[in-house]
Structure 1
Amino acid sequence: MNEAAGIEASLGLASEEAQARIAAGEANVDAGVKTRSVGQIVHDNVCTLFNLVNAVLALIVLFTGSYKNMLFMVVIVCNTVIGIVQEIRSKRITDRLSIIAGSKAHALRDGMEAELPLDELVRDDVVVLRRGDQVPADTQVVSGECRVNESLLTGEADLIRKQPGDALMSGSFVNSGTVYARVVHVGAENYAAKISAEAKERKAVRSEIMRCLNGIIKFVSCIMFPLGALLFARDYLSGNSELNSAILSTVSALVGMIPEGLILLTSTVLAVAVVRLSKSQVLVQQLYCIETLARVDVLCLDKTGTITTGDMEVAWVRPVEGEAAQDAPDAIDREARRALRAIACADDDPNEASRAIAAYFKDAEGRPETCSRMIPFSSDKKWSGAQLSNGSCYVMGAAQFVLGDAYERVRLQVERLAAEARLLLIARVEGFDEFGNIRGDLRPLGFVGIRDQIRPTAAETIAYFKDQGVRVLVISGDDPRTVSGIAEKVGVEGSDRFVDASTLKTESDVERALACDSVFGRVKPEQKKQFVLALQKAGHTVAMTGDGVNDTLALKAADCSVAMAAGSDAARNVAQLVLVDNDFASMPKVVAEGRRSINNLQRSASLFLVKRCRPSLPPCCSSLRRGNIPSNLSR
Structure 2
Amino acid sequence: MSPTKDIVELRVDGMDCNNCATSIQRFLERKGLQDVLVNFQTREVRYRRDDLSLDEPAVKAGIKKLGFTVVEEAPPGHEGHVHDHATTARRRLLFCAILTAPLLIAHLLMAFGVEVGLMHNKWLQLALAGPVYAVGGLYFGRSAFAGLRERMLNMDVLIFLGATAAFVYSIVGFVWNDPQYYFFETAATIITLVLVGNWLEARAVEKTTTAIGALSDLQETKANRLTASGTLVSLPVEEVEVGDLLQINTGDKIPLDGTITTGNISVNEAMLTGESLPVDKRTGEAILGGSLIVSGQATYTVTAGYRDGTLAQIIELVKTAQADKPSLQRLADRVSAVFVPVVIGISVLTFLLGWLTGYATLTQAIMNAIAVLLISCPCAMGLATPTAVMVGVGRLARMGVLIRGGSTLERFAGVERMVFDKTGTLTTGELRVGNFGVAEGEDPQTLLSLIYRMEQASSHPIAKSIRDYTKGLLPTNFASRQSTGPIDGQPAPAQSITEVPGKGLVMSSDNTAYFLGAARHLTTSVPPTGTDIVLTRDEKLVAWLSLSDDLRPGAKAVIDDLKSVNIEPALLTGDSATKAHRVADELGIVDVYAEQLPAEKLAVISRLSLEKPTAMVGDGINDSAALSRADVGISLGGASAAALDAAQVVLMRDDLSLLTSGRKVAALTLRTIKESLFWAFSYNIVAIPLAALGYLNPMWAALFMAFSDVVVIGNAIRLKSRRAD
Q: State the TM-score, normalizing by the size of structure 2.
A: 0.43
Q: State the TM-score, normalizing by the size of structure 1.
A: 0.47
